Amino acid sequence: MATLTDQVPSALSPKDKKWWTDLRSPRKWSRTTRRNFITGISFASLWILGFLFFNLYPMLASLYYSFTEYHILKPKIWVGLANYVQLFHDPLFYKALTNTTYMVIVGVTMSLLLSFTFAVFLNFKVPGQSIFRVIYFLPSIVPTVASTLLFIWVLNPNQGYLQMMLGKFGIVGPDWFKDPNWSKPGLLLLSLWGMGQTIMIYLSGLQDVPRSLLEAAELDGASWFQRLRYITIPMVSPITLFMIIIGIIGMFQYFTQAYVFSHAGGAASALGSPLQSTLFYSVYLYSIGFQQLNLGYASALAWILFIIIMACTVVMLRYSTRWTYY
């Protein structure tokens, strides 16, 4: 069964133009084609309605909102590009963008490196292999709010076990919630704890590496590391590409953990606390849209987010041909 990994790049670059030649001349369709068309449309009708109402309409509507001054319950006022201009002078927008970029670069890189390493570990033939796989995977299915609360407690400077363990090595751990330099690493630790799904995807990729290739290299005298570097890593490169794209999209939508985390410092603490260090893009968007109810500005933020995600994806796909092998 083909996975998304294989599908996304090919689907996004439709090389064959068949789809529109089909549609060109509905009058010339044979009876079978016409019947199939009606059958297909009716089976897909729920999704088509959903696409129109829950994807296309909101997408266009938010584009329209982004050109207006729109506070809920008040009429919309057309302001043209004013929201976008304001955005480029908004220091909090840059703060949110910087924070998110940090998470994307540090978070995605670490998660991919560690996931791959752990996948290699889990591929070792050792007793209890399946138990280890379960242990590594389980954290990823813990509900986000529960795992975030757990990490707030684990990282607690006085009663958390991490601090206790660091203390045994004579290290005084930071105050993860009050110190703006340490809040993002704390959140990264949490996201690394839940990287089991990435590990599993890599593991299945490792298992799909043709044994014959590895054996041929081995007979030619390639060391374990050489086989990893020149066979395994290139063979899993489509997965890496896919995980980078998914990771970027995920990090730009990073919300729940930051929301719960910034409420950990006490009920009075604002979103993004301490000192806006956890003010991520989606958190900022939420606070503009649903706390300040400035829907026009929030829509502009949303569209910038969408453009960034699209741009990252296109760039990744475009430059991936240099390092991915299908």
Partner 1 sequence: MKKNVNEIIDMPGTDPALRSLHPVGSETIFKSRAWYRSLKILRSPFQLLLLVIGSLFFFLPFLWMLSTALKSDLDIFRTPPTWLPYDIKYVNVNGQSLPLYNVTQNGLTQQLASISMKKGVGVFVDPANPNQQLNIKMIYATPILVVSPRWANFIDAITTVNQPGSGINFFTYIKNSLILSFFNIIGTLISCTLAGYAFSRVKWPGRDIMFILVLSTMMLPFQVTMIPLYVFFSKIHWTNTFLPLTVPAFFGNAFMIFLLRQFFLTIPEEMCDAARVDGASDWQIFTKIVLPLSKPVIATVTIFTFLGTWNDFLGPLLYLNNPKLFTMSIGLQDYQGHYSASWNLLMAASVIFTVPIIVAFFFAQRTFIEGVKLTGLKE
Rule CB under 8 A: which of 280-309 touch partner 1? Answer: 282, 285-286, 289-290, 295, 298-299, 301-303, 305-306, 309
- Shortest Cβ 322–partner 1 spacing (Å): 22
- Shortest Cβ 300–partner 1 spacing (Å): 10
Sequence-separated (6 or more) residues with CB below 8 Å from residue 171: none
Sequence-separated (6 or more) residues with CB below 8 Å from residue 4: 242
- Smaller CB distance to partner 1: residue 23 or 270? 23
CA distance 114 to 112: 6
If residue 96 lies in a helix (H) or strand (E), which one and from where to where?
A: helix 91-102
Positive or negative, the Cα torsion across 20, 22, 26, 28? positive
Applying CB under 8 A, among 236, 264, 271, 279 the residue interacting with partner 1 is 264
Q: Taking contact as CB under 8 A, which single stretch among the options 78-86, 95-103, 174-182, 189-197 is the one that binds partner 1?
A: 189-197
Applying CB under 8 A, among 81, 85, 105, 135 the residue interacting with partner 1 is 135
Helix (H, G, I), strand (E, B) or coil at 312: helix
- Shortest Cβ 113–partner 1 spacing (Å): 13
Applying CB under 8 A, among 78, 94, 161, 326 the residue interacting with partner 1 is 161
Name which of residues 190 to 229 contact partner 1 (CB under 8 A).
193, 196-198, 200-201, 204, 211, 215, 218, 221, 223-224
The letter for the amino acid at 78 is W
Taking the CA atoms of residue 87, residue 89, residue 92 and residue 93 in that order, the dihedral angle to the nearest 10 degrees is: 40
- Shortest Cβ 93–partner 1 spacing (Å): 14
Site size for partner 1 (CB under 8 A): 118
What are 215's two structure tokens? Answer: 């054996």
237 counts as binding partner 1 under rule CB under 8 A: no
Name which of residues 81 to 100 contact partner 1 (CB under 8 A).
none
What are 19's two structure tokens? Answer: 């789809």
- Where b means 16+ CB within 10 Å and e means fewer, 34-50 reads eeeeeeeeeeeeeeeee
What are 210's two structure tokens? Answer: 């043709």
7 counts as binding partner 1 under rule CB under 8 A: yes
Helix (H, G, I), strand (E, B) or coil at 17: coil
Name which of residues 24 to 63 contact partner 1 (CB under 8 A).
26, 29, 33, 36-37, 39-51, 53-55, 57-59, 61-62
Applying CB under 8 A, among 75, 143, 169, 172 the residue interacting with partner 1 is 143
